Structure formats: C-alpha cells, structure tokens
C-alpha cells in the first residue's frame, strides 16, 4: 500500500457522512517545489431544486504524510466545512513574479 492509498483511505473514512464522496489525490500544490501533496474531497449535494457539488481542497505537508492522525485531522476539518457550507479560498494578491522573482523562475 502506498502513501497515496493511505491518504485516500483515511480521507474516505472521514468523508463517510457525505453520500457519494470521492477523494482525489495526489494533486499538485501551489508552489510545486516541495514533497507536499494536494488532496480534494468532493461530493454531490442537492441544494433545493439545484444539483450541486461541494468541494474541499487541502495540502498535506511531508510531516503530515508521515502520520495518519495529521492526515485525519485535515480531512476531518475539510468534511466539517463541507457539511456546513463553509468555503475557504486562497488567492494571490499580486503576480508571483512581482513578489518574488526568484521563486517564479524570473531571475
């Protein structure tokens, strides 16, 4: 069993309260420079007459990936937010090259 299998298993255990939940992993992370893993949990949801999909995404750091309780804690937080219609977004305020040219590969 691989770390990806472990991540998916733990996340699905936490998402069992969401009918039709699916775990997508590994996903690339924002900086594409570390051994972190992106994870997404999604599930169908009926909002009145409208069919919808609720989605939560999070990053597991190399330290998180070494301990199942850390994976479980992030999955639990994601499922909690999904079940209560809480949305969180991370958006850059400036273009990356304007903030840190060396990170953006513009030297």
CATH number of 10's domain: 3.30.160
Would the CA dihedral through 9, 11, 16, 21 be positive or negative?
Answer: negative
pLDDT of residue 106: 47
How many CA within 13 A on the CB side of residue 17?
Answer: 11
- The confidence score (pLDDT) of residue 107 equals 43
State how far the Cα of 22 lies from the Cα of 16, in Å rounded to an integer: 10
Range of the structural domain that residue 21 is part of: 3-104
Sequence-distant (≥ 6) Cβ neighbours of residue 1 within 8 angstroms? none
pLDDT score at 29: 87
Considering the entire predicted model, what is its pTM? 0.82
How many domains does the structure of the chain reveal? Answer: 1
């Amino acid at each position: 069993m691989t770390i990806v299998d472990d991540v998916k298993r733990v996340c699905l255990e936490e998402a069992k309260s969401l009918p039709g939940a699916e775990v997508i992993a590994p996903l690339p992370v924002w900086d594409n420079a570390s051994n972190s893993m992106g994870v997404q949990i999604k599930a169908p949801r009926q909002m009145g007459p409208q069919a919808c999909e609720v989605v939560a995404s999070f990053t597991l750091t190399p330290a998180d990936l070494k301990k199942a309780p850390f994976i479980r804690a992030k999955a639990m937080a994601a499922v909690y937010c999904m079940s209560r219609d809480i949305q969180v977004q991370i958006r850059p305020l400036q273009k990356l090259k304007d903030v840190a040219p060396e990170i953006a590969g513009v030297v």
